[in-house]
Amino acid sequence: MADWNPALYSRFEAERTRPAAELLARVPLEAPRSVVDLGCGPGNSTELLARRYRAARIVGTDTSEAMLAAARERLPAVTFERSDIAEWSAAEPVDLLYANASLQWVPDHPRLIPRLVAALAPGGALAAQVPDNLDEPSHALMRETAADPRFAPLIGDASRLRTRILCERRYYDLLAPLADVDLWRTTYYHPLDRAADIVQWLRSTGLKPFLEPLTPELQAHFLAEYERRLEAAYPARADGRRLLAFPRLFLIARRRD
């Protein structure tokens, strides 16, 4: 996969950081010694961790060199390392593992989630939020557009492009034997001026694997067709803006001593 675009990602930084802050507010740790931000992106979530836990040793990880460069520029006092969450392991037990909108890109959650809990120190916590929007029009229409004969031969099976997260009961069953569990779901409603803004929001994340196999010309056609479908799916509200619903699943698991 081609590298991520920090500038495009950060265009909606306030909206992306809000769930990160709300997740962190529920973390039941006062003074962790070690914190790892799994999938730190450009450092917006890591900055929240650094502000709350000033005495902690904080490490941010990401697969993207561009995102890591942006994070290092933003937070020069924090350590950032390149690693894939699917292969990440801790050299020693960690007090807080924090993952803001990153685990949805990692397959096989029935194995991943217990492995992350096993990396915690006794009393440590795994805190994660994952988008749960694959059935929203924003994402269903990506797959519908990908099935267009102009794009389907290059994109292939669109269902493989992002891991479908488990239901909340399945996460509870994975975690409850190992930890005390806090689970909740929030749907955010983001007013955006135009359907084109929904496209721009998703170009840096969900749309990325759809566009990468296409030539520049086909990318332009794909985006135009996708936007046309969004226009119908997200009609203008009373103020003329479009309301993007964005469900997210949150979990905090505190490992028992």
Tens of pLDDT, residues 6-62 = 666 667 778 888 999 999 999 999 999 999 999 999 999 999 999 999 999 999 999
Confidence bin at 159 (pLDDT 50/70/90) = confident
Q: For residues 169 and 251, is the Cβ–Cβ distance under 8 A?
A: no
- Tell me the whole-structure pTM to 2 decimals: 0.92
Confidence bin at 4 (pLDDT 50/70/90) = low
Query: Which is the CATH superfamily of the domain at 6-255?
Result: Vaccinia Virus protein VP39 (3.40.50.150)
Residue 5 is predicted with a pLDDT of: 61
Distances (CA, A) of 15 to 1, 21, 95, 209, 245: 25, 10, 27, 22, 12
57-76 tens-digit pLDDT? 999 999 999 999 999 999 99
Phi, psi of 14 (to 5 degrees): -60, -45
At 147, which amino acid appears?
A
What does pLDDT average to over the chain? 93
Between CA 246 and CA 12 the distance in angstroms is: 13
Between CA 42 and CA 36 the distance in angstroms is: 15
Residue with tokens 């290059």: 154
188's tokens: 């955010």
